[in-house]
Amino acid sequence: MINIVLFGKPGAGKGTQAEFLKSKYQLFHISTGDLFRHHISNKTDLGMLAQSYMDKGDLVPDQVTIDMLKDAVETHSEAKGFIFDGFPRTSKQADALDTFLSEKSMQISATVALEADDDVLAERLVNRGKISGRVDDQDEEKIRNRFEEYNNKTAPLRDFYEAQGKFHSVDGIGGIDEITHRLTTLIDGLL
């Protein structure tokens, strides 16, 4: 079983690359952002709660995020492996994921960060916002807040996975195909 965590700041291209990786390695793709947006469009209680954080560019509280993630994994227990996109984003989530997976005799195979600098990312997000209509992509201040959240809460996970010998990074600037190639070369070398 291969379980990959895709890391990267907002706009780094996690969702785009996850689409390629899931078919190449036959993995089930779980994006916590997509799951929240699905709840928002269905107007569930979880969706309403999540929206109040997401619209400001803040992270949604850990416990509801962790519970939602566990539920998604359990609903797809037949999967050959998973790509976690946008999870974990805090130390508490990373600990919870390790515990949860080990209870199922599963583990993270590798975490891969897509690296790009803030100005490139901010420009990508503003462009995406024009097409997607995502509230959190429309305003520079919200975008900068998401980077702050990443720097404060998510970036420290690098040390967490490095200590486990599972942290890798790839240059996230370039053409989509080029970046897919970098990722698959890296992942093939780890298998």
The yes or no reply on residue 7 touching ligand ADP (CB under 6 A) is no
Answer yes or no: 43 catalytic. no
Residue 93 found at the interface with ligand ADP (CB under 6 A): yes
- 182 an active-site residue? no
Does residue 84 belong to the site contacting ligand ADP (CB under 6 A)? no
Buried b (16+ CB within 10 A) or exposed e, 32-71: bbebbbebbeeeeebbebbbebbebbebbebebbbebbbe
Is 89 in the active site? yes
Reply yes or no on whether 144 is catalytic: no
8 Å CB contact between 54 and 60: yes
146 sits near ligand ADP (criterion: CB under 6 A)? yes
Written as one letter, the residue type at 151 is N
Q: How far is the CB of 7 from ligand ADP (least distance, A)?
A: 10
User: By CB under 6 A, is residue 100 in contact with ligand ADP?
Assistant: no
The reply to whether 128 belongs to the active site is yes
Active site residue ranges? 14, 89, 128, 134, 146
Residues that bind ligand ADP (CB under 6 A): 10-11, 32-33, 36, 53-54, 57-60, 65, 86-87, 89, 93, 136, 146
